[in-house]
Amino acid sequence: MKIYLLPLISTSLFIAGCATKPAPKTFNPNVYPKVERRQYISIGLPIHSPAAKYPSWQAAKRQDGWVLLEYTILSNGHTDNIHILDSSPKDIFDQSAIDAIKQYRYQPIMQYGRAITVDQVRSKITFDAP
């Protein structure tokens, strides 16, 4: 009977340990898990990266903020699979940041003479009040 309880207890402890913690109030890159790769791939700067537009409906409040995004760079240099990891203040600048990342263009990333797709690329976009 005791043998059957061990997997149940260990599974419960594992699930409890995986609970997400609330987002920090200030940006700290050490809070987010690092991406481990077997081979270092240098991505470089985008060849086209228009600035994110400050939302006009937010201009009267003159509020600063930031958005941390994660996305994929496709083999043709376009971005895809864009999602928000964190932002401050919440939901204010998210859409403007996504719109800017959609316009980013990178030089195709080469590995062994072939263009590749790179996942889990992260960028932080800051917004300063006009």
Residues 46-84: tens digit of each pLDDT: 787 777 887 877 766 788 889 999 999 999 999 999 999
Residue 42: pLDDT band (50, 70, 90) is: low
**Residue 26, pLDDT score:** 65
CA-nearest of 37, 51, 52, 48 to 107 is 48
What would the pLDDT profile of 90-124 be if each residue is shown by its tens digit?
888 999 999 999 999 998 888 888 888 988 899 99
Q: Around Cβ 32, how many Cβ atoms within 10 Å?
A: 14
What would the pLDDT profile of 21-31 be if each residue is shown by its tens digit?
555 566 666 66
Token pair recorded at residue 86:
């964190």
**How many Å apart are CA 38 and CA 127, to the nearest integer?**
34
Ordered domains of the chain (ranges, CATH): 26-127 (3.30.2420.10)
**How many Å apart are CA 11 and CA 4, to the nearest integer?**
12
* Cα dihedral 75, 78, 81, 87 sign: positive
Please name the helix (run of DSSP H) or strand (run of DSSP E) that holds residue 94, with its range, or none: helix 94-103
Please name the helix (run of DSSP H) or strand (run of DSSP E) that holds residue 4, with its range, or none: helix 2-17
Cα dihedral: 98, 99, 103, 105 (round 10) = -10
